Copies of this chain bind each other. A is one copy, B any other.
Amino acid sequence: MSKQIASSRSPSFLKCGQCSLGSLCLPVGLDGQDMVDLENIVDSSSPFGNEERVYNAGQTFDRIYAVKSGMFKTVIIDSLGNDHITGFHLPGELFGLDAIYSKKYMSSAVSLGTSSLCAIEYKELESLSHKLPSLQHQLLNLMSKEVQQSQSLNVDLTAEQKLAGFLIALAARYKQRGYSETRFHLVMPRRDIANHLNMAPETVSRLFKRFVNDGLLTINRTDLTIVDMTALKEMGGCASVC
């Protein structure tokens, strides 16, 4: 049912041509041999189909991943079997960082639609970062950002605020990656948005309807356009990046 992790398809670590690390979350500003060293621990792989798994919760941690195209979601499952989507990962973003401590992936990573990624050997990355202070610096920064962001999600908000905040944050991330911030595709199904924001799919549906009625957005299936960004930001409050 699920494709195995990337390495099984690439016997040795390949240079990852399409995956310009400068555009990733690791703008280390390296050159010459350093860049080659870094590229040597990066492994590109063939694309994943819809709902295909990159790794499963519980699996031994060895790599972190950078999204090249498409979108991935990370999902945790609690003791009662309820699953929860901890995040959606856009091109240029990293995931798998939460596994460093426990040495096992705590979540499963799943592709949404057709997506591709780079695998980065964590062990190599860590030891490489001993040699490259700026890489270490970037790594720590990145982790810190993750901490901060997931903490700011823990505040208590109405369903309306959560959804508005989610859309604003998504827009900001798309913008940061060079895409349009006002028009993008909601690759994930409503059910996944609802799950991620801890609400019923019905609520998401009702809210989208309200947002459209109030002239904040237009939606056509998965094609979303933000009409009134200001109002949306106001509604979301601090839920997004502020």
Contacts and interface: CB of A to CB of B under 8 A. Distances in A.
A76 B136 contact: no
A154 B147 CA distance: 12
Contact of A156 (B151, B198, B242): B198
Nearest to A78: B238
Question: Which of A126, A146, A147, A242 has the most CB atoms of chain B within a 10 A radius of its CB?
Answer: A147
Contacts of A154: 84, 86, 150, 153-154, 198
Question: Which of A107, A137, A144, A145 has the most CB atoms of chain B within a 10 A radius of its CB?
Answer: A144
A237 B84 CA distance: 14
A130 to B, nearest CB: 5
A contact face: mostly helix, strand, loop, or mixed: helix
B144 A101 contact: yes
A62 interface: no
Interface stretch (A33-41, A92-100, A113-121): A92-100
A140 B147 CA distance: 12
A54 interface: no
Copies of this chain in its oligomeric complex: 2
A142 B101 contact: yes
A80 interface: yes
Contacts of A198: 154-156
Contact of A100 (B87, B133, B144): B144
Interface in A197-221: 198
24 contacts: A78-B238, A78-B242, A79-B242, A80-B238, A86-B151, A87-B151, A97-B147, A99-B144, A99-B148, A101-B141, A101-B142, A101-B144, A101-B148, A106-B151, A136-B136, A139-B140, A140-B140, A143-B143, A143-B146, A146-B147, A147-B150, A150-B151, A155-B198, A156-B198
Given A97-B144, A100-B144, A150-B153, 18 more contacts: A76-B152, A78-B238, A78-B242, A79-B237, A79-B242, A80-B237, A82-B155, A84-B154, A99-B148, A126-B140, A130-B133, A130-B136, A136-B136, A139-B140, A143-B143, A143-B146, A146-B147, A147-B150
